[in-house]
Amino acid sequence: MVEENRVGGVCLNAGCIPTKAMLYCSSLFVSSFNGKRYGLNAQELTFDETSVDRHRNLTVTKLVKGVENLLASRGVEIVSDRAESVLMRKVKCRNCEIEGDKIIIATGSCPADIPSARFDGEHIIGSNEAVKLKNAPSSVLIVGGGVIGIEMATYWASIGKSVFVVEMLDRILPLLNDPRASAIVTESLKKKKARIITGERLEKCEVFGDAVKCHLSGGESLEVERVLISTGRKPNSCVASSDLFQKDNRGHIVTDEACRTSVENVFAIGDVAGEPYLAHKASHEAEVAVSVISGKSYRKEIEKIPSCVFSDPEVATVGITPYEAEEKGLKVVWGEFPFSANGKAVSSGMIDGYARIVARKPDHVIVGGQITGACADILIAEISLALRAELSLEDLAETVHVHPSLGEILPEAARDAIGKALHK
């Protein structure tokens, strides 16, 4: 294995894991701050960013070492170098060459800046720098209301920082194709005093000492300590730039259902092979590629891979939404159930959000699900299994769930879809 930096990629070192460590800390702060109703009387509550920094770093280090130990226990040799080109059966690195009958490219992606705001690593930053700040900026403009932007907005707003989010489309989290979920997260951020500006672009940035003056397309100017550009990512170019492989118009290496590239013995997985940019999508593709290399029949199923935005509340989705079904001309039925009618949610103060189950109209086979609410990352797994097993609405509706539990919202949503809701 050739690795330029630490094993674990973006997810472990500068993405999923450090942000979740930070968001856990901020969620505890918010819960404690609002805990009087539940018998928690905290006086002079403060947020210690030094402790958060230590927790984040310890979390990342522990998991990186865990991956290193797993690789070592399986006899994998780690070559600390930068791969610069891939030939038919050879990888050329800066300091060595490695030959192999089969090659897997997993070089990932990196943050992309925009013409009106180029990264300078200090005032205008990307997610790599954002998750490593020892102290949060007192004020920040986040350009791009996608997953990364909204998770960072949630963290900074939760600990009392001045947050502005600028999204050029008409709502945040636009790629979820779920206006209701976007509206709930927008309202939550506003309650944290974040300002959400949609339908506008960042036209120009000017750095003056320790401040950045940001000019928006609507004519407004904002002055902040830092600007986070979270408008998108691009595939890492060290290998993806090779003319040996077929690529799409954004530079991703094109692969088939077995993760093969246009060069038969070379496979590509993860971000470098295209969206969605998800660590578990990369892991799934890795299993597919290794299985095929081992002579087994296996194909990737991107449409059945769930995703989650760790906002407050969380937003998770898998398969298609009713809005996507309508755009594609598919006939579906769907049902919803609110957290506010769930006993566990009410008793725990987690009443924001809902669950939705989407199924084909003719046979009620489940084809999608969306959850906005507490523990959405956990609850979505049941719908993912339903998709993979091609279960019906009736299968889910008739499955007994623990009471009281958040999981009860799923059979309730399924019952709603077939017109047999019990508690709605």
- Catalytic site positions: 403
Q: Which residue has the tokens 């805990």?
A: 35
Question: Can you tell me the distance from the alpha carbon of 213 to that of 186, in angstroms, rounded to the nearest whole number?
Answer: 24
Q: Which residues of 251-278 are buried (b: 16+ CB within 10 A; e: fewer)?
A: ebbebeebbbbebeebbbbbbbbbeebb
Q: What are phi and psi of 233, to 5 degrees?
A: -130, 165
246-to-93, 238, 240, 275, 281 alpha-carbon distances in Å: 21, 15, 9, 16, 21
333: which 2 tokens? 């039925």
Question: Can you tell me the distance from the alpha carbon of 101 to that of 144, in angstroms, rounded to the nearest whole number?
Answer: 42
14-to-57, 108, 110, 177, 287 alpha-carbon distances in Å: 10, 12, 10, 27, 23
Exposed/middle/buried for residue 329 (C-beta within 10 Å: 0-12, 13-18, 19+): exposed
- Interstrand relation of 366-373 and 354-360 (parallel, antiparallel or unpaired): antiparallel
| Residue 216 CB partners (closer than 8 Å, separation 6+) | 166, 197, 200, 201, 202, 203, 222
Identify the helix (H) or strand (E) that includes residue 111: strand 109-111
Question: Can you tell me the distance from the alpha carbon of 272 to that of 259, in angstroms, rounded to the nearest whole number?
Answer: 11
2: which 2 tokens? 């050739």
Question: Can you tell me the distance from the alpha carbon of 196 to that of 92, in angstroms, rounded to the nearest whole number?
Answer: 46
C-alpha torsion angle, residues 370, 373, 378, 383 (rounded to 10): -20
DSSP 223-273: EESEEEE-S-EEE-HHHHT-TTS-B-TTSPBP--TT-B-SSTTEEE-GGGG
Question: What is residue 117's DSSP assignment?
Answer: B
